Each structure stands twice: as structure tokens, then as C-alpha cells.
Amino acid sequence: MRLLAAALCWSPGRAWLRGLTPGLSVNAPMEPGSSSTEKFYRIPKGKGPHSVGCTDLMTENAVEGSFLRLYYPSCNATDNEEAPWIPDKEYYQGLSDFLNMYRVVGERLFQYYVGSVTCPAKSNAAFKLGEKYPLLIFSHGLGAFRTIYSAICIEMASQGFVVAAVEHRDESASATYYCKKKSISEPQEESTSGLEKEWIYYRKLKTGEEERCLRHKQVQQRAQECIKALNLILKINSGEEVMNVLNSNFDWNSVKDSVDTSRIAVMGHSFGGATVIESLSKEIRFRCGIALDAWMLPVGDDIYQNSVQQPLLFINSEKFQWADNILKMKKLSSNDTNKKMITIMGSVHQSFPDFTFVSGGLIGRFFKLKGEIDPNEAIDISNHASLAFLQKHLSLKKDFDQWDSLVDGIGPNVIPGTNIDLPPAEPE
């Protein structure tokens, strides 16, 4: 049970909804000591030179197809609105299930507190032509979905990456869906496409079921979904027409010849960190990977036998990790200078998803959505270390090497390796 609780993408925050937190709101009231100019909390914008757009893509083939949100460098789109952060009420229902809340209660709470939150990327903005951008595939954590790591994905896109945030259909997302044809007897409601959403909700462990077995099976599907997303973006890049079953006015032809097919990486948080490792072992086109506060339980024993040759960066929070988990990371990365581990001091497991930005300081810390470090500083350390690592191992001609010291754990609020006390190494 302890291991399960530690693994959950949202686990430290199980209580924050039960407590009816008044600080979780895009228009949250100011807290004592806050700046008079700070009127509300929101997800931070990208700090790079590019404006950022985003669009959703779902292929056919029902549940076996791909579903992702693409973040990309965009033209300045003053007429485009920011994308909704949580786009469907069914995601609120899925989060409620995941958090063991009544759906009717959870849906109302989420709608009230975060229903108006947007992510700072312009929906369906025109793709910015003229460059070849490296590609980053992103994998979400347990109980999460494609939209709630937008602070990370938007920053990467603003720095010149195309980012495909996969929504996994292995029943590890709190909710996801695919589109199927409506039966003739069903009314044609808002859409005239003849399609309806078939929702897939998070599957809880059954009584007596071994978690490791389920998670290992899921992580293999997740890795295949990351590889499918990679293949899909490369098809679009080559000029092949891909059918998007979602209503969108985004011009997918504009992406043609804009992806640097020699510079591809994979990144993920928690269960997504395990997915990074599994993906690297299965797909050599991923030249490197970044695992944010990785949960190692799903990783198969075979992976430790030299299955991951590519460079790998572990970025851990101070409060989430434990000795057995760290020892598995070290087993994977021992005697390889291209595999690094750093820890962001003052951070928690929730310092990586977006919920840390839409909760007030006092409330966020009480319910472990925030650590002792400012959330913006924590995400900057993570993003800057990631960019420096990607520059080195994707051979990018950027200025991200200004943050090389972070990859070695040198700088404010970061240490090399781990803060966890480990047992002494046994003599060989």
C-alpha cells in the first residue's frame, strides 16, 4: 500500500479536494503576504523566443489509434484563444474516481475551482515555418492525462521543440476516450460528424491483484503508444496525409518538413518516467530520455541488462523518492557518464504537473501540491536542466549549455544524485 501511494501521480493530493480547498482557483483570493499585484494564479507562459500553439490529434482505428496534444512554435496568434486546460467534464469524473470521490461532488468542485483555467498556448495557432525543430514525446503520470503538464510542454515548445503529449489508453489515465461511429438510432447532437466519444476510465487494482504485474503490462503498452506517436508525427512531417477525427482547423500540412528527424527524445513524469525507460529500450530513434520523479516499479527486470544504451537524465523531487526506487535508478545508470541523476531540493512529486500553479501557496503546501521551493523556481530548474541535457545529447546549436551545471547538480536548490540515505554498496 505504501508503494502504491508513493506511485500515484496525485497521491499526495488525495486530501486536497476532500478539504474543499478555497485556494485552488484561477481567480483565487490573495493570501496573506502576497503581492498586491498578484490577483490570480495561473500556469506560467513559455520563456523562450517562440510563441506557442497547441492542437489535439486523434487518429482512427478506435482504441488502438493515437491521441495526443501537440505543442509547437507558432506564429503570433492574437486572434486565437488560449486552449482549455481540462477540456471535458469527463476528466473531472475520472479524477473523482481516481481520488475516491463521488463523481457528482468531484465534478462540481473541479468545475468551480479550475473550470476556467486555460493553458498559455494559443489553440490551433498557425505553425511557425522556416526551421526544423527537434521532437519531444511526453508521457503523463498515473491518473493524469495529456493536458496537465502544459507548463513543461509549453516551455519546451517556446524554446524550439515540437512536443507531442500522449494520452495513454492503458487504463492508467484518470480518463481518456476514442471516437466511434454513432448508431443510426442516436440523435446527432452538437457534432454532425457521426462520431461519439467512448470514454475509458482509470482501472483500479482488483482484490488480490499484484500491482507490479499490471503496471508492467501497462508500461509496455505506454511505450508502444509513445512509439506510435513518434511514427505519426514523422508521417505528417514526410507529407503523408493523416486523418484527424477531432474537429480542428489546424493545418497539418504546415508541419511538413519542419521536424528534425535526427533529433528525437522522450520525456515523462512518474509512471511516465518508467515509460521513458521502456521506450528507450524499445526504440533507438529516441536519442535520449528525461525521467521526472520516475516510479520504477513498472520497469521490467530485463531492462536492467544493458537494454537502455541512450543517455538518460533522472530529475527527482526531494520528498517523493525512497531507497528501493533510487537503487533501481542507480542500477540502470551505474558506470555510464551519460546517465545522470539530480534532485531539486524543496520540491515534491506535484512540482511537475500543473496543479502546483493553480493552487494558492498555503493551501498548496498543506496538501502537498507545492513544496517549500517556489513552484516557478522548481519548474525552471527542471526545464533548464532538461534543455541543457537535450542540447548536449541531441547536438543542438542553442544556448542551453548555460545551464550545464544543473545537469551535474550544481546550483541553488539542486544537488547531484539523491537526498535519500542508501544502504552501503556491497563489495563485488
DSSP string, 191-216: --SSEEEEEEEPPPPPTT--HHHHHH
393 is a catalytic site residue: no
CB-based burial of residue 29 (10 Å sphere; 0-12 exposed, 13-18 middle, 19+ buried)?
Answer: exposed
Higher pLDDT, 139 or 306: 139
Contact 409, 343 (CB under 8 A): yes
Q: Which three cell numbers stand for residue 165?
A: 503529449
In this prediction, residue 362 carries a pLDDT of: 62
pLDDT computed for residue 391 by the predictor: 98
Selected catalytic residue, list 74, 123, 258, 270: 270
Longest dimension (CA), the chain: 71
Among candidates 55, 50, 69, which has minimal Cα distance to 122?
A: 55
Angle between helices 211-237 and 271-282 (to 10 degrees): 60
What is the pLDDT at residue 4? 32
What is the per-residue pLDDT across 243-298, written as a single tens digit (0 to 9) for each? 999 988 999 999 999 999 999 999 999 999 999 999 999 999 999 999 999 999 99
Mean pLDDT lowest for which of 33-42, 164-173, 297-306, 307-316? 33-42
Extended strands (E) in 48-117: 51-58, 67-74, 82-84
pLDDT in tens, 44-93: 999 999 999 999 999 986 788 999 999 999 998 778 899 999 999 999 99
Instruction: Give me the sign of the Cα torsion angle 330, 353, 368, 204.
Output: negative
Second CATH level (architecture) for the domain 2-416: 3-Layer(aba) Sandwich (3.40)
Catalytic residue among 56, 97, 293, 354, which? Answer: 293
pLDDT digits (tens, 9 = 90+) for 192-242: 467 889 999 999 999 999 999 999 999 999 999 999 999 999 999 999 999
50, 269, 349, 393: the active-site residue: 349
- Assess whether 404 carries a catalytic annotation: no
Cα–Cα dist 41/48, whole Å? 21
Percentages (nearest 5) of helix, strand, coil residues in the chain: 35, 20, 45
DSSP, collapsed to helix, strand or coil, labels residue 189 as coil
Average predicted confidence (pLDDT) for the chain: 88
Task: Please say whether the beta carbons of 162 and 233 come within 8 A.
Answer: yes
Does residue 395 sit in helix, strand or coil? coil
| Dihedral Cα 29, 21, 361, 151, nearest 10 deg | -100
Residue boundaries of the structural domains of the chain = 2-416
Active site residue 349: yes
DSSP state string for 82-95: EEESS--HHHHHHH
- Closest by Cα among 303, 385, 376 to 340: 385
124 three-class SS: coil
